[in-house]
Amino acid sequence: MSLAHIGAFALDRVVETDGLGFSPKGLIADLDEAVFESHFGWMVPGHYDPATRRFVMGVHSWVLRTSRHTILVDTCAGNHKTRTQMPGFHKLDTPWLARLAEVGVRPEAVDFVLCTHLHVDHVGWNTRLADGRWVPTFPNARYLFSRVEHDHWAKGRDEVYVDSVLPVVEKGQARMIEGSDEIEAGLRIEPAPGHTPGSVILAAESQGSRAIFSGDIMHHPVQVFEPDWNSRFCVDQAQARATRRLVLERCSDSGALLLPAHFGPPHGGRIRRRGDKFAIDFGLGG
């Protein structure tokens, strides 16, 4: 039994970590304390813990199964990776692969891996350590990377790129997406820049139902209510705000389910307009 359905598509979530995350100011540079406190009514306790003054968040992957393909959206932070500058992701040892198996997916069965962008917590399980080498975790998959995004990170070749992206490219399993592209009918990859130069979303539509896998267009649901609040990790602040608003407008106008990468439970919801802002009805049904 899958977690939810988008028409004929089956949806599951594979968790790497859940629980307390960033402090509000540690994540959102634009945060206004008085406005933030006005949201406590819906945020506490499911999305914010006032005792520790930290957000409740998660790092997870989405699994989408159609009649033709198994698609994995984002691959979390991964195990055994050296992340000395990011202690929360350093040398993790989580049962993510076992959790993938619990939803009925073997690595060999994954047809496509879509990375919405190439930050550390979206590419980690692209590869696993085997005999001292980083090798693609999903041997039969095509890994879908935005060309703009890939080329941006390939210039610097930091440790994230070297251990979690480059081995996929060298193995010949990467497919570079130029602009928009389609995995199959009803599954479209679209540019959504701002958070990173080449961020993308996946728009799904089946039997009249819609969903948008939005990556880090929003890290926390307070950004639904305050769409001008960027995370500290957004590289183009003005473009990030514009993209976020466009995604929210699209969800509210089309009824699409919003499926981000880091929201706390229930991890997504339906967007509705509230004047020039928005609200979210949490839940994966409907």
DSSP letter (8 states) at residue 126: G
Instruction: Encode pLDDT of 156-191 as tens digits.
Output: 889 999 999 999 999 999 999 999 999 999 999 999
Instruction: Encode pLDDT of 145-161 as tens digits.
Output: 999 999 999 998 899 99
According to DSSP, the residues that pair with 153 across neighbouring strands are none
> Looking at per-residue confidence, does 172 or 1 come out higher?
172
Instruction: Give 4-282's CATH code, choosing from 3.30.1490.190, 3.40.1800.10, 1.10.1520.10, 3.60.15.10.
Output: 3.60.15.10
> Looking at per-residue confidence, does 276 or 62 come out higher?
62
Instruction: Encode pLDDT of 67-86 as tens digits.
Output: 999 999 999 999 999 998 88
Q: Would you give the end-to-end CA distance of the chain in angstroms?
A: 17
The model carries a pTM of: 0.96
Q: How far is CA 183 from CA 12, 65, 68, 272, in A?
A: 18, 12, 10, 28
The ranges assigned to domains in the chain are 4-282
Segments of 138-192 assigned E as strands: 142-146, 174-177, 181-184, 187-191
Residue 274's pLDDT band, with cuts at 50, 70 and 90, is confident
